[in-house]
Amino acid sequence: MHLRYYEEVHHLARFFTALLAPLVLTSTLAQSLLAAPRYAKREGFTRVVLDLPPETPYLITYLPDGVQIRLNGLIADALSGTINLEDVQSWSYVADPLGVTVRFKTPFPVSDQHGLKFLPLPPSADSTQLRLVLDFSPGMLRIDPFLPQQLPVFPPNSQIVLDPGHGGSDPGATGGVIEKEVTLTIARLVRDYLSQAGALVTLTRDGDVDLSPNKDRDLKARAAMGRYPQQYLVSIHVNSDTAGNGAGIETWYYTPQSRLFAEALQARVIETTGHTSRGVKRAPFVVIKEAYVPSALVEVGFTSHLLDSENLRNNDHLHRIAYGIARAIRDQYPAVVVPSPEVLPAELYP
């Protein structure tokens, strides 16, 4: 009697153990405590790592000022912290009964095209954890092959001046790229796009030369080319900073009549490249201050930034910059009405 009773109890115990095993596993996962993120500043970007139990479900959402990651089945303390001003300003955990929402705030927009490289690493021989690796940088850019569309035809006698910054004895900013080389390459590409649409384009230089060994005279000579019958002037440059953290594109203007032109250039180049916008700014740069036509100076990237200089060595990226500049210039002109073929007189129809 007692033996049979114990056998039945043992059988029921095994039954309920098997029945409850998935619930125990789920409970164990749900009780896993999310540790604070690991992070380190690298040259050109900041790497952040989240260590998770294997097979933790996650969902990444891009925000206007950062990224949010939803982790189900975990718990976390209400933690937060700062990382750096350049790439990741802050992080925070918010827990609820179903899991944890992780938020990283950045000083630039983040998307699957720009600002973030996301790499989930499965458990390996060296780690039993699932690792979510996030590399943040304003210079992080996914560059796809570029297939430009033909620009609309320009009105007759549309004339534009393109100024490739620096040249000759003045290399401009140096680092990952040499400014005078990049600016000339882009200017030639812009000229090609504009010429194919019927514009008349003048380059302030079409080789590795300067207009004068005296820098002030050189700049004034470039600005002087921006006068009637020319209608717009765009000066192309590459940026640099001593810290090496700056990345992205910005456009400068000086005269009030040039502001809308500068805004159009900035908008189009950001649209075509998907890069970080550093905005439209005003400064008395000689080449745009002393020109007689609406003028703007476009800083197309940073030679001092590891990733941004890599962007400027990418041919598709250079074409995107050039097309954005060309498109913005074309936007300044009215639409051209292309005459339809002449209609044959009715008597000529059978």
**Does 12 reside within a domain?**
no
**Does 148 reside within a domain?**
no
**Does 13 reside within a domain?**
no
**Does 62 reside within a domain?**
yes
Residues 126 and 183 in one domain: no
Instruction: State the pLDDT at residue 8.
Output: 47
Q: How far does CA 298 lie from the centroid of its chain?
A: 16
**Does 325 reside within a domain?**
yes
**At 188, which helix (H) or strand (E)?**
helix 179-196
**Vertex 325 angle, CA 62 and 44, to 5°:** 45
Instruction: State the pLDDT at residue 124.
Output: 83
Residues 221 and 270 in one domain: yes
Cβ neighbors of 48 (< 8 A, separation 6 or more) are 37, 38, 39, 83, 88, 91, 104, 133, 134, 135, 136
Residues 221 and 297 in one domain: yes
Residues 105 and 186 in one domain: no
Residues 118 and 183 in one domain: no
**Does 200 reside within a domain?**
yes
CB of 38 within 8 A of CB of 48? yes
Residues 103 and 199 in one domain: no
Residues 298 and 168 in one domain: yes
Intervals of the chain under pLDDT 50 = 1-30, 343-350
Instruction: State the pLDDT at residue 9.
Output: 41
- Domain holding 126, by residue range, is 33-138
Residues 326 and 228 in one domain: yes
Instruction: State the pLDDT at residue 47.
Output: 97
In angstroms, the CA 332 to CA 232 distance is: 9
Residues 130 and 172 in one domain: no
Residues 65 and 204 in one domain: no
> Which domain CATH number covers 303?
3.40.630.40
**Does 150 reside within a domain?**
no
**Does 19 reside within a domain?**
no
Tokens in use for 252?
């400068």
Residues 59 and 205 in one domain: no
Residues 42 and 163 in one domain: no
In angstroms, the CA 208 to CA 57 distance is: 55
> Which domain CATH number covers 109?
2.60.40.3500
Report which of 318, 296, 339, 314 is spatially closest to residue 193, judged by C-alpha positions. Answer: 318
The DSSP string of 197-219 is TT-EEEES-SSS--S-SSHHHHH
The number of distinct structural domains making up the chain is: 2
Instruction: State the pLDDT at residue 243.
Output: 87
